[in-house]
Structure 1
Amino acid sequence: MTDVKIPKKYEELLDVPTDYRDDTYKYCVMVLSGAYVAGKEVQKACVRHLKDIRRSIEDSDWNYIYKPKRAKKVIKFIEALPDTKGKVNKLGLFQKFIIASVRGWFTKDTDMLRFRKAFISVGRKSGKSLLVSGLVLYAFLFDKEPAEGRQMFTAANDKKQASIVFNMVAKQLMYFTSKVPELQKDVKKVRELLQNLKDDSYVMPLSRDTGAIDGFEPFLAVIDEYHAAKTNEMMELIESGQVNLLQSLIFIISTAGFNLNAPMYTDEWPYAKDILSESFDDPEYFAIIYEQDSEDEWQDRDMWAKSNPLINESDELKEQIETFLEKRVAEATKKGSMFRVLVKNFNYWMQASEESYLDFNDWKKNEEDFDITGTKVYIGLDLSRADDLTSISFVHLDEANNQYYVASHSFVGTKGGLQGKIERDLIDYWQLEKDGYCTITDLTSGIINTDQVLDYIESYVSKNNLDVQAICYDPYAIHGVLAEMERRGWYYDLQDIRQGPVTLSNPTLDFKLKVIDGDVKHEKNPLLDRAVKNAIAKDTNDSIMIEKKMHREKIDPLMSTLFAYVIAYEHGWDDEEVSMPIFI
């Protein structure tokens, strides 16, 4: 490392005692110096490791310490194990960094493993399953807390996927016992169960097909390819079973996926990023994300190591992997399926359908806070059909920048039971109401209470001193609501927005283009985000309309936004307009 030049901003951070300058430290040097090509999230993980070492030395009250010798012991064990082809390989520095992080950090007071959850996201064929199987085997053979009955699971959405890591563990165990014959009497494999006869510990695959798992107490669990999970049910069952354990660990290992409503994308991935960016502190959560920093980087071969870290490890691997990726890119470009390669080989989240109305990455980059006080606003109202949501959207005018700012709120009916609706829609409405994004009806009939809807509009407008330009609505089931608006003394411009290409096509296309250009900003709102993910564009006779593929996929918050935008996009930015009274 003598010829590696360290940027000045990292010099002080890298100044740690000699005892801590192990392979993990070397990896940090290679990443932060630029000798290894690495994305922003990997750089942040290295910075976090180095900061934590300094903090463990300088802050006597901080309860964590890094022990390089104990980390090295685990690395040496895993390096002695074979891969799926029976070949024993030296680990790359990025693999050593992961192993040493989860097995080298301990609590000062109890000498337990520091990290209780590890989030590892990387492109396909980067050895993540093989790496974690070695960690499972080490825990199975050598861990002592708890001293007996350690329950270990390789979990996934289906049994076939759950068995991949399990089979790797079993194969490595058979290899290890062949080298250490005295262990053979202590371990046993019966079908899909590995048993440690000395302390009654075991490893087994776990999936939704396994049946009731509430009685399990998972000391260690690997959740493989978490992007495929439609709900966080498995995660919740595992975590809830660890409550009485002094030491436990969950590995989440996965590439990116196509379902942007999956809990990995909506919950775990942003949580991991918040930790790495230091916007949230969770000292017992390890995170490392090997991904491209932009979807355009697939065109630059020099950037491919960001999501495929094995490229950094040797010239031989670099040539092999880059040749493979070049073929993948060339074929996908010809077939028009590059988005699949971006997701799986470059670990970049994208929607599965090329029919998607908006690229969610374009939408998400425009999320920001905005002072709506005193702004002109167009209000969109989409009343529910049967068990859909009723949604209100507020399209505010940012007249200083000639831009739009969108806020939204939804109302949830409970007819047929709220829990059933939560399970059908795969949306936790209880939590969303608690967070302020929706309102659950207060009527015992379970239908939407339109008084709650109008009360919300009234409060929102009054609290923020808004200048309402128009209320734009779908005429379906609006008549009783219009009468109530008149009773309340609302003298706003009321705009009937007909659902059809003549009315909606041009505004829908214009809204999309302004999102891409960054001229439509929006608040953080999970229900509006979900609607954007679910919306597909149907092109008929040169007109564009919004649809959804499945009934349970809600797009109501987006539709109410487009209703408001039909009138808002005709706004004359330079016109002098007379303000309408808020309430009379």
Structure 2
Amino acid sequence: MSLKDFTNHASVMNYVNEVAKGKKIAGKEIQQAAKRFKKDLKNKEYEFNPKDAEFVIGIIERTFVHDQGERIDGTPLRGTPFILEPWQKFIIYSLLGFYIKGTIIRRFKEAFIFLPRKNGKTRFVAALSWALALLERKSGSKIYIVGAALEQSLQSFNFINFNIKEMGEENTFRVLDNNQEHSISGDFGDGSLYIKALAANPDRQDSLNCNVGIADELHAYKTPKQYNIIKEAMKAYTNKLMVGITTAGDNMSSFCYQRLQYCKKILDDTVTDEAYFVFIAKADEDEKGEVDYTDPLQHEKANPNYGITIRPSDMKNDSLQAQNDPQQRKDFLSKSLNIYTSAMKAYFNIDEFKASDSKYDWTLEELAKFPIKWYGGADLAKLHDLTAAALYGRHITDDGVEVDIVITHAFFPIIMANKKADEDNIPLFGWKDDGVLTMTNTPTTNFAVIVNWFKEMKNKGFDIKLVGFDKKFGREFFYLMKKSGIKIVDQPQYFYKKSEGFRRIETKAKDGHFYYCHNQSFEYCVQNVRAIEKTDDMIQYEKVDGDGGSQRIDLFDAAVFGAVQMLEDIQMSAVASKWLNSN
């Protein structure tokens, strides 16, 4: 059978070609997904057969109808056939069409689908779950639809249940819909299906077993375990499929945001993950993460259903409201344009830091050879928690630009690392793999370990002039640093002093003259900073979620201490120079 004989092949290929060539308006990441599809068609490691994709599309369009909504002209949709759009067919063709050459093993085992609100995400998930359950019935298909809250997964469950009733098949399937369970099961002559709606509660889901998992609204998942517990439930199946589907959120420390960054790297070809399908629909951002959010072109790029379920006039009106009312802007960016935004309480735009950092690429070895005076800072944990050390300096480039550089390093007791990484969603083990965190073998981080880091940096060639530290927070550390031969001065944590270091870092980042060695742990801390403006341009800062929260700013704090010492030393040197010149 020729590919051209498949009913939906022409529609999918037309979509792919028009997106890849720029003839159809789509965001950067959708263009990358289309180009990846075309490249994979030529990959000799895979065979392309859309037979199962055609089955799934056919099941959806022939058995499902809309339960609510209106067409863009106001015509009611309830009861009309659930016809898939080309972008939805493209997703299904991608997920089910590629096989490892010479086998019946599908290439994709995992998917990340990132869509703004009102693009039919929930009902598409429901229809896909139903069709996949029928497709995999011979294997005794088990489908779990998992939301961060049960109410979310029930939206998909209720849509499937509605359609079973519309088909007149309520007696064919066993439907449990009560406070204890929400499931649909059925036996066929050649197999069976089981679809269940769940809340993402990993403490109650250790015995799950399924071949398809749908993790809905990933941005609301508080820990990676909520996702991974479903993924782990599939190990008994070869053609398993884990689908994460979500809209953007406002927590850049979350599992969902980190997964988004990983999937972008797949599309950029900086990470190779052949078993992961990625479809990211969002507006295009510039290098500082800014979006022209009033531009209809960006509205269309972000929304695959633009002009179908997304009304252009509504988008334009909402964008103008966002422009005139800053309180509306964050929600418009995240929900309508699918742009991850920092929580409103977060002070910094992390994209400004990333843009500045990306301008430079000096290694530690190169930095050690530069004629830089380095100033240290440290933020010590009270107990078994994150401890941070930093070196801060400034370098004049060949073209006369003054660049501030911070080198930070984190420390964490290994016996608490697993617990805290999971509870507080901190990527400690990733930082360890990157070489920017040391796991200590003691219940709390021994001060000698931090002292040794400063000594090692000095031995590598870093000219450490002095380290600032408030000795009331660690007199033993203060004593050990003095004993090591590294000059350390008492630096009380007065907010007006720290404000100077804070402002220095802020200004340098905004000007694009700040480099932090691509350290992701430093980025994590920066985006957790909440700041309060005081009189006379002073600023007081803390964690976004307060003293009792789970987020950390320790590495940023250590950098501020280093910046303060550098500024004070510059000022003292200037005063001394002026005195000498006057005498």
Question: Shared fold by TM > 0.5?
Answer: yes
Separation of aligned partners in 1, 2:238 and 2:421:
33
Question: What code does the residue aligned with 2:403 have?
Answer: Q
1:67 correspondence with 2:76: no
Q: Where does residue 331 of structure 1 map in the other structure? A: 321
Classify 1:476/1:389 alpha carbon distance in 2 versus 1 (closer, same or farther; 3 Å). Answer: farther
Question: What code does the residue aligned with 2:392 have?
Answer: V
What secondary structure sits across from 2:468 in the alignment?
Answer: strand
Classify 1:489/1:352 alpha carbon distance in 2 versus 1 (closer, same or farther; 3 Å). Answer: closer
1:163 correspondence with 2:154: yes
Deviation at 1:563, TM superposition (A): 0.8
Separation of aligned partners in 2, 1:298 and 1:196:
47
What secondary structure sits across from 1:151 in the alignment?
Answer: strand
Deviation at 1:33, TM superposition (A): 2.7
Deviation at 1:336, TM superposition (A): 1.8
Q: Where does residue 355 of structure 2 map in the other structure? A: 365
Classify 1:430/1:122 alpha carbon distance in 2 versus 1 (closer, same or farther; 3 Å). Answer: closer
Classify 1:424/1:116 alpha carbon distance in 2 versus 1 (closer, same or farther; 3 Å). Answer: closer
Separation of aligned partners in 2, 1:187 and 1:101:
30
Q: Where does residue 464 of structure 2 map in the other structure? A: 468
Match of 2:396 among 383, 389, 399: 399
Q: Where does residue 40 of structure 1 map in the other structure? A: 28
Separation of aligned partners in 2, 1:45 and 1:202:
31
Classify 1:153/1:333 alpha carbon distance in 2 versus 1 (closer, same or farther; 3 Å). Answer: same
Separation of aligned partners in 2, 1:523 and 1:171:
54
Match of 1:54 among 14, 26, 42: 42
Structure 2 gap ranges (5+): 69-77, 575-583
Separation of aligned partners in 1, 2:94 and 2:151:
29
Q: Where does residue 83 of structure 1 map in the other structure? A: 66
| Contact kept? 1:292, 1:304, Cα under 8 Å | yes
> Mean alpha-carbon deviation: is it higher for 381-390 or for 156-165?
381-390
Classify 1:140/1:209 alpha carbon distance in 2 versus 1 (closer, same or farther; 3 Å). Answer: same
Q: Where does residue 497 of structure 1 map in the other structure? A: 491
Q: Where does residue 149 of structure 1 map in the other structure? A: 140
Classify 1:343/1:280 alpha carbon distance in 2 versus 1 (closer, same or farther; 3 Å). Answer: same
Separation of aligned partners in 1, 2:253 and 2:147:
17
| Contact kept? 1:414, 1:421, Cα under 8 Å | no
Separation of aligned partners in 2, 1:77 and 1:343:
33
Separation of aligned partners in 2, 1:476 and 1:304:
54
Deviation at 1:108, TM superposition (A): 2.6
Q: Where does residue 534 of structure 1 map in the other structure? A: 528
Match of 2:86 among 90, 93, 96: 93
Deviation at 1:91, TM superposition (A): 2.4
Question: What code does the residue aligned with 1:156 have?
Answer: G
1:206 correspondence with 2:198: yes
Separation of aligned partners in 2, 1:572 and 1:486:
22
Q: Residues 509-548 of structure 1: matches in 2 within 5 Å?
A: 509-542=503-536, 543-548=538-543
What secondary structure sits across from 2:279 in the alignment?
Answer: strand
What secondary structure sits across from 2:356 in the alignment?
Answer: coil
Superimposed CA distance per residue, residues 366-411 of structure 1 (whole angstroms, 9 cap, x where no aligned partner): 3444222313232221222345422111224332141122221112
Classify 1:139/1:71 alpha carbon distance in 2 versus 1 (closer, same or farther; 3 Å). Answer: closer
Match of 2:214 among 209, 222, 237: 222
Classify 1:125/1:569 alpha carbon distance in 2 versus 1 (closer, same or farther; 3 Å). Answer: farther
Separation of aligned partners in 2, 1:332 and 1:40:
23
Separation of aligned partners in 2, 1:28 and 1:272:
19
Question: What code does the residue aligned with 1:31 have?
Answer: V
Separation of aligned partners in 1, 2:560 and 2:49:
56
Classify 1:207/1:17 alpha carbon distance in 2 versus 1 (closer, same or farther; 3 Å). Answer: closer
Deviation at 1:432, TM superposition (A): 3.8
Separation of aligned partners in 2, 1:571 and 1:458:
21
1:262 correspondence with 2:254: yes
Question: What code does the residue aligned with 2:379 have?
Answer: D
Separation of aligned partners in 2, 1:522 and 1:421:
25
Separation of aligned partners in 2, 1:158 and 1:345:
22
What secondary structure sits across from 1:111 in the alignment?
Answer: coil
Question: What code does the residue aligned with 1:83 have?
Answer: H
Superimposed CA distance per residue, residues 432-451 of structure 1 (whole angstroms, 9 cap, x where no aligned partner): 435433223333xx232111
Classify 1:518/1:172 alpha carbon distance in 2 versus 1 (closer, same or farther; 3 Å). Answer: farther
Q: Where does residue 410 of structure 1 map in the other structure? A: 410
Question: What code does the residue aligned with 1:412 have?
Answer: F
1:174 correspondence with 2:160: no
Match of 2:484 among 479, 488, 492: 488
What secondary structure sits across from 1:193 in the alignment?
Answer: strand
Deviation at 1:73, TM superposition (A): 3.5
Deviation at 1:341, TM superposition (A): 0.9
| Contact kept? 1:442, 1:449, Cα under 8 Å | no
1:381 correspondence with 2:378: yes
Separation of aligned partners in 2, 1:532 and 1:452:
24
What secondary structure sits across from 1:172 in the alignment?
Answer: helix
Question: What code does the residue aligned with 1:503 have?
Answer: K
Separation of aligned partners in 2, 1:110 and 1:17:
19
Separation of aligned partners in 1, 2:127 and 2:231:
22
Deviation at 1:39, TM superposition (A): 1.5
Q: Where does residue 273 of structure 1 map in the other structure? A: 264
Superimposed CA distance per residue, residues 159-201 of structure 1 (whole angstroms, 9 cap, x where no aligned partner): 11121222222223333x33xx6xx664222212100222342
Q: Where does residue 4 of structure 1 map in the other structure? A: none
Tell me the TM-score normalised to structure 1 length.
0.85
Tell me the TM-score normalised to structure 2 length.
0.85
Q: Where does residue 558 of structure 2 map in the other structure? A: 560
Deviation at 1:424, TM superposition (A): 4.4
1:126 correspondence with 2:122: no
| Contact kept? 1:194, 1:203, Cα under 8 Å | yes
Match of 2:301 among 289, 298, 306: 306
Q: Over the residues paired in the alignment, what is the CA RMSD in angstroms?
A: 2.7
Classify 1:500/1:101 alpha carbon distance in 2 versus 1 (closer, same or farther; 3 Å). Answer: same
Structure 1 gap ranges (5+): 1-15, 577-584
Separation of aligned partners in 2, 1:208 and 1:274:
27
Separation of aligned partners in 2, 1:111 and 1:367:
46
Separation of aligned partners in 1, 2:284 and 2:16:
19
Separation of aligned partners in 2, 1:394 and 1:244:
49
Classify 1:163/1:366 alpha carbon distance in 2 versus 1 (closer, same or farther; 3 Å). Answer: farther
Separation of aligned partners in 2, 1:174 and 1:279:
47
Deviation at 1:430, TM superposition (A): 4.8
Superimposed CA distance per residue, residues 271-294 of structure 1 (whole angstroms, 9 cap, x where no aligned partner): 211111111221111001111122
Q: Residues 23-34 of structure 1: matches in 2 within 5 Å?
A: 23-34=11-22
Question: What code does the residue aligned with 2:215 have?
Answer: I
| Contact kept? 2:432, 2:439, Cα under 8 Å | yes
May I ask how many residue pairs the two structures share in their alignment?
Answer: 534
Separation of aligned partners in 2, 1:432 and 1:506:
29
Q: Residues 181-196 of structure 1: matches in 2 within 5 Å?
A: 186-191=172-177, 192-196=182-186
| Contact kept? 1:137, 1:173, Cα under 8 Å | no
Separation of aligned partners in 2, 1:54 and 1:569:
58
| Contact kept? 2:294, 2:320, Cα under 8 Å | no
